[in-house]
Structure 1
Amino acid sequence: MTDSLSIIIPAKNEQLSLPDVLDGISSSCSPLEIIVVDDGSTDETAKVAARDGVKVISHPYSKGNGAAIKAGVRAAKGDILLFMDADGQHDPQDIPRLLAKLNEGFDLVVGSRQKGSQANVGRGVANKVYNWLASYMTGHKVADLTSGFRVARAKKFREFLSLLPNGFSYPTTSTMAFFRAGYSVAYEAIHAGRRDGKSHIRPLKDGIRFLLIIFKIGTLYSPLKLFFPLSLLPLLMGIGYYIFTYISVGRFTNMSALLFTTAILIFLMGLVSEQITQLMYQESDSGDDRVEEAQGDQSSK
């Protein structure tokens, strides 16, 4: 499978750790190509990446981790895409195991970080919440929703390229998109080591952004499964308050009306989001079909 494997490594100011990552890849497998996307680094990241067998794509300024992933995917020639970080957290020796799992018939294999992997308490709790919510939304056990160490079939990954954000949440989006499309997703246990260098995650700003991911998880899969339970809370409160006011003062109050209205609005938001999500994936499928038709026309000529 390595003959058709493209390894994509987004990197920003990783001149210290990147050489060891590239050496580790060379000792573990022989991919078709290695693509390092330098996302506006201010150090020598692009220079240390420039070696035989490595294609370097440099952004003039930082566009985000997701944007680097998309640039790498567009340039990749392989039928199999493997994504890993440049900071030394992902062990290249795990690559053969991820590929072997993919070869069992899966479309996406995610490296699932086990207990003891490097992460602070806040991120660990957030990841558990994401995993639980994603498992509820999909009906399948999601072992690690946000791991950036993953391998996928290129043709299917490209179907969702336009859906991927430019920031750090591309793993979440791609995983939920694969589930939503009915593709096979598997997990392979890995140990993520301590990162080299300084983390690019900012606790306050990214903490707010990570909270928004929770709602993004719902809208990427089935919004009604998220919005319907949320609408039950004001509905039950409205019923309870109506019973209380009917017994105590014998009338229907404005507060009960407000709670009932809120419940209806939340439900309708979920219903509309469900239709938008359906259209979004239909457009993605149609776009993929048009690409295949164009490729077929070119080959016939």
Structure 2
Amino acid sequence: MDTTVFSRPSAYETSEDHPYLSVVAPIHNEVDSIPHLIESIAHILSENQISYEIICIDDGSTDGSTELLKEEAAKRNDLQAVILRRNYGQTPAMAAGFKCARGQIFITLDGDLQNDPADIPEMLAKLNEGYDLVSGWRKNRQDAALTRLLPSKIANWIIGKVTGVSLHDYGCSLKAYRAEIVADMNLYGELHRFLPALAYIEGAKIVEMPVRHHPRRYGSSKYGLGRTFRVLMDLLTVFFMKKFLTRPMHVFGSFGLLSMAVGFLLGLYLTIIKLGFGQNIGDRPLLILSVVLLLGGVQLFSFGLLAELLMRTYHESQQRPIYRIREVVGIHPNR
């Protein structure tokens, strides 16, 4: 294993109350992995003289992980154990970890020891090149080919096409984020796998980096093919957020106007053949279709108006601007 020690830039120097790096690790039934995970993170970061904290989020474990995390947190000064009331899932667990983190940089990784903390210093060096998010790429992934690798490759390709952010490995939990990027993202559902796409929506500069990946040493995987449907639903959510978050009327209103226009033309056609040619239109399917299209168009247009109001409430209630400023150079009075 390559454990090259990176020289510490001055940016790694922070106060004791605000460490430079926050390592966020969701935990669910990983009691055998926890001691090795904590020690390996602490060893690598201490060796590289990086100010850090470790935040382990217990996501409703039932195998003794909760008690072990509490014991470790009580005797260590670099570990915070966040115990959730029940199993909420990886996205809420990450959100809880981000909420508790105090660092300038956040690192996320799984608690099953398949991600290697030895990659963290290199990811930090990559961030210092001017990126906002460094996403890990498990180039030599140690998982089953049929049930894990093949579905993952297909999913990564689809996600890249839909979101416009082409990555080899969306599912790799080992990622590095600047804290201000995470602060701009609200996580719901199971959106953790789409964090690069959400960051891209916020204007982040993203780069992918090959990282190590080890076979699972303890326990069994919590993932399976049954998550595919949920991934697709979340993908549609991210696509809508990317395209129409600040202009929902553009999608609802467009379909609504199209539906009303087609319904109106069909109604006009039926009116002409009724009044001009005296034909009976009461039993024609086109009459039902015309009415449905007109009503559907009105409803879609109304949804668009409601979505616009919700969007404005969303941004204004949180004082969230619809733009993101990367930096301001120089002094600009009265701005």
Query: Is the shorter-chain TM-score for this pair beyond 0.5, marking a shared fold?
Result: yes
Take 2:112 and 2:288, find their aligned partners in 1: how far apart are those partners? Answer: 54
Take 1:153 and 1:107, find their aligned partners in 2: how far apart are those partners? Answer: 5
Deviations 1:232-251 (CA, angstroms, capped at 9, x unpaired): xx99xx9xxx9xxxxxxxxx
| 1:164 alignment partner AA | L
Take 2:114 and 2:301, find their aligned partners in 1: how far apart are those partners? Answer: 42
Query: Which residue of structure 1 lines up, in the alignment, with residue 279 of structure 2?
Result: none
Take 2:302 and 2:29, find their aligned partners in 1: how far apart are those partners? Answer: 45
Query: Which residue of structure 1 lines up, in the alignment, with residue 61 of structure 2?
Result: 41
Deviations 1:176-230 (CA, angstroms, capped at 9, x unpaired): 33212212222212243333422223533x22211102211212211389969x9
Deviations 1:98-138 (CA, angstroms, capped at 9, x unpaired): 11111111111111232545334223322321122112xxx
**Number of positions where the alignment pairs a residue of Structure 1 with one of Structure 2:** 268
Query: Which residue of structure 2 lines up, in the alignment, with residue 65 of structure 1?
Result: 90
Take 2:238 and 2:89, find their aligned partners in 1: how far apart are those partners? Answer: 20
Q: Do residues 13 (structure 1) and 34 (structure 2) align? A: no
Give the match's secondary structure for 1:222: helix
Match of 1:127 among 156, 169, 175: 156
Take 2:304 and 2:209, find their aligned partners in 1: how far apart are those partners? Answer: 33
Take 2:180 and 2:161, find their aligned partners in 1: how far apart are those partners? Answer: 29
Say if 1:267 and 1:92 are closer, same or farther in 2 by CA, change over 3 A: farther
Query: Which residue of structure 1 lines up, in the alignment, with residue 5 of structure 2?
Result: none
Say if 1:183 and 1:48 are closer, same or farther in 2 by CA, change over 3 A: same
Deviations 1:137-166 (CA, angstroms, capped at 9, x unpaired): xxx534433432111111331222xx202x
Q: Could you tell which deviates more after superposition, 118-127 or 146-155?
A: 118-127
Instruction: After TM superposition, give the deviation of residue 286 of structure 1 in Å.
Output: 3.1
Take 1:20 and 1:112, find their aligned partners in 2: how far apart are those partners? Answer: 22
Say if 1:56 and 1:268 are closer, same or farther in 2 by CA, change over 3 A: same
1:43-192 equivalence runs, <5 A: 43-49=63-69, 50=72, 52=76, 53-114=78-139, 116-118=141-143, 119-135=148-164, 140-160=165-185, 163-165=186-188, 167-172=189-194, 174-192=195-213
Instruction: After TM superposition, give the deviation of residue 257 of structure 1 in Å.
Output: 5.4
Q: Could you tell which deviates more after superposition, 10-19 or 143-152?
A: 143-152
Across the aligned residues of Structure 1 and Structure 2, the Cα RMSD in angstroms comes to 3.7
| 1:54 alignment partner AA | L
Considering Cα pairs closer than 8 Å and 6+ residues apart, tell me whether 1 or 2 has the greater RCO.
1
Instruction: After TM superposition, give the deviation of residue 260 of structure 1 in Å.
Output: 7.4
Take 1:157 and 1:181, find their aligned partners in 2: how far apart are those partners? Answer: 10
Is the helix fraction higher in 1 or 2? 1
Take 1:265 and 1:110, find their aligned partners in 2: how far apart are those partners? Answer: 41
| 2:201 alignment partner AA | R
Take 2:139 and 2:297, find their aligned partners in 1: how far apart are those partners? Answer: 39
Query: Which residue of structure 1 lines up, in the alignment, with residue 320 of structure 2?
Result: 286
Instruction: After TM superposition, give the deviation of residue 276 of structure 1 in Å.
Output: 5.5
Identity %: 24
1:175-214 equivalence runs, <5 A: 175-195=196-216, 196-204=218-226, 206-214=227-235
Deviations 1:70-92 (CA, angstroms, capped at 9, x unpaired): 22122222111111110122111
Please tell me whether the aligned partners of residues 222 and 274 of structure 1 are also in contact (alpha carbons under 8 angstroms): no
Instruction: After TM superposition, give the deviation of residue 67 of structure 1 in Å.
Output: 1.8
Take 1:147 and 1:277, find their aligned partners in 2: how far apart are those partners? Answer: 31
Instruction: After TM superposition, give the deviation of residue 268 of structure 1 in Å.
Output: 8.7
Q: Could you tell which deviates more after superposition, 118-127 or 80-89?
A: 118-127
Say if 1:33 and 1:134 are closer, same or farther in 2 by CA, change over 3 A: same
Instruction: After TM superposition, give the deviation of residue 34 of structure 1 in Å.
Output: 0.7
Say if 1:227 and 1:203 are closer, same or farther in 2 by CA, change over 3 A: farther
Say if 1:279 and 1:178 are closer, same or farther in 2 by CA, change over 3 A: farther
Take 2:292 and 2:169, find their aligned partners in 1: how far apart are those partners? Answer: 37
Please tell me whether the aligned partners of residues 114 and 189 of structure 1 are also in contact (alpha carbons under 8 angstroms): yes
| 2:222 alignment partner AA | H
Say if 1:60 and 1:133 are closer, same or farther in 2 by CA, change over 3 A: same
Bigger Rg over Cα: 2
